[in-house]
Each structure stands twice: as C-alpha cells, then as structure tokens.
Structure 1
Amino acid sequence: MEGKSCVLTLFTNRYQAYQPPQGVPVRITLGAPRFKLPYSLTHAVRELAPRREYLSRPEPEFIKAYRADLDRLGPARIAERLREITEAENDHRLVLLCFEDLSKPALWCHRRTFASWWKDATGDEVRELSPMADYKQGTLM
C-alpha cells in the first residue's frame, strides 16, 4: 500500500476521557465498558488486549509477557489491522482505548506498554491524550 492509506497516527486514552474530535475510538481491552459511553465504539482490536493468563501479574512480569505477545504479532501485522480501521473510517487518527486513569500515581496500563513497544518497533510516537502521573509507562523489560 502507498500514499494516504498507509498513514497511521496513533494515540492512547481511557474510555472515560475520549472525545470524538481526537480520532476514531478503538477498543483494545478484553471486555467492553459496562458503563454508557457518550460515543459509538464500533472498532476493537482484540489482538492488542492482554491475555487473561498474565493480566493480574506484577507489572514487570505483565510487561514482559505482553511485549512478547506483541513481538509475535509484529508491527506489520498490527499496522495492517489498524489500517483496516483507518480505511473504513477514512481517518488516519486512531485512539486506542482502555480503562485506567493514568493521572493517578502508581497506576500503569497496557496501552502505554503498547505505545512504548510501538515506538521501539516502528520509531513512531503514540501520544497519550489524558493527563499522566510522572511515571514512565511500559518500559520495564
């Protein structure tokens, strides 16, 4: 693929803070929100949700397992899946959503682990759209 259809601009946010002008909302959690959203959530990339086997493990173990899953998928396959959404929506801006409020100190989240992995794999930044505590997410190995 060439041209505009190749462009991907990725962001992360939490379900409760997402605003439609930010881009296309994309669920990357195992479960959908059980609360009413003021926007439509029509896209999900289940491949980016962490697996139940390590979901409740301590952060270093979680990050190692989650990054290994991302490595197995690879950036090309993930980009292909994300581009399907950009083409369907005619918008290159995707906002990958999950639940955690990262403005609270000591909270961490797989969306920032994905962002760190994506930067390592592709060189492209994935900016968080919500406030974050001063904690470097997703960089433990």
Structure 2
Amino acid sequence: MLSLFTNRYQAFRPPQGVPVRITLGAPRFKLAYPLAHVVRELAPRREYFSKPLPEFTAAYRADLDRLGAAPIAERLREIADAEEDHRLVLLCFEDLTDPVQWCHRGIFATWWKDVTGDAVRELSPRGGQYEQGTLM
C-alpha cells in the first residue's frame, strides 16, 4: 500500500508521514525534521520553470508520461518500504495559501490521479482552506 500526500517544506510535520524532496534544490533553511529521501525525477526541469502555467503543465506532464507511473510507484514504494511507512509526503517550496499561486506538486497530484486513479492530497492550507485527508 502506498499513500501519497503533498505539502511545502515549512508546513510539513513528521506525524504526517515520510518527507520526500521533489525539488531540484534542497531547502537552504533549517528544517525541523530530517530529509533523507529525494526523488529528483519528480522535479520540474529548469528550462520550463519560467513558462506560463499552461506550457509548464504540458511540459511537466510530458516528462511524467515519459517516466511512467509504474517506475515512479516503484521508486516511491522503495522509500515506503525502507521507512516502514506507507505515507509519503512529497515536498516543495510553494505556499499555496495564496489563491493565485500554483506548484508542480499539484500538477503531479492531478497527473497521478489521472493515470492511477489514486488521489494525492495536499496537507497544507490552500487558498484559505484545507483539502483535508486522512493520514492513517
């Protein structure tokens, strides 16, 4: 079993699950928790970072399609097995409390749901509200 969630580095708390970095760079600020796992394949490439959202989304989703859900799931299951915890929290930097802010973790969550049928829930506030999900 694998349960995926998303959050930002600053809002993650260890009881939420296993933190997993999905950004090109690591946080340059001190974290209150260890960050032992990185899945760089889920980080967007630099060349489309400055693109408008529709172009960014298309390019990022194309990368995810090339990778495929099965290899991504296998990599994530390796982390879950190593940590003996099926709850993985994919982390990046963006603060989604601003309703106009967007982030690749949301694009990944939508893509994952589209290809696997499994929901990926955001754990931090989003636009003033929580998309509450179970952590158990």
**Aligned match of 2:39:** 45
**Matches of 2:101 and 2:34 in 1, distance apart?**
26
Q: How far apart, in 2, do the equivalents of 1:56 and 1:42 lie?
A: 28
TM-superposed deviation, 1:46: 0.2
Q: Shift in Å at residue 71 of structure 1?
A: 0.3
Partner residue, 2:76: 82
Which residues in structure 2 correspond to 1:37-116 (within 5 Å)? Answer: 37-116=31-110
What's the RMSD between the two structures over aligned residues? Answer: 0.8
Aligned partner letter, 1:71: D
- SS of residue matched to 1:79: helix
Identity among equivalent pairs (%) = 77
Residue type of the alignment partner of 2:119: E
Amino acid at match of 1:123: G
Matched with 1:14 is 8
Equivalent residue in structure 1 for 2:24, among 20, 27, 30: 30
Distance 2:49 2:20 in 1: 20
Structure 1, unmatched stretches of 5+, are: 1-6, 135-141
Shift of 1:107: 0.4
- Give the gaps of 5 or more residues in structure 2: 129-136
User: What TM-score comes out, normalization by structure 2 length?
Assistant: 0.93
Structure 2: distance between partners of 1:100 and 1:59: 14
1:92 Cα deviation (Å)? 0.3
Q: Matched residues in 1 for 2:43 and 2:60: separation?
A: 9
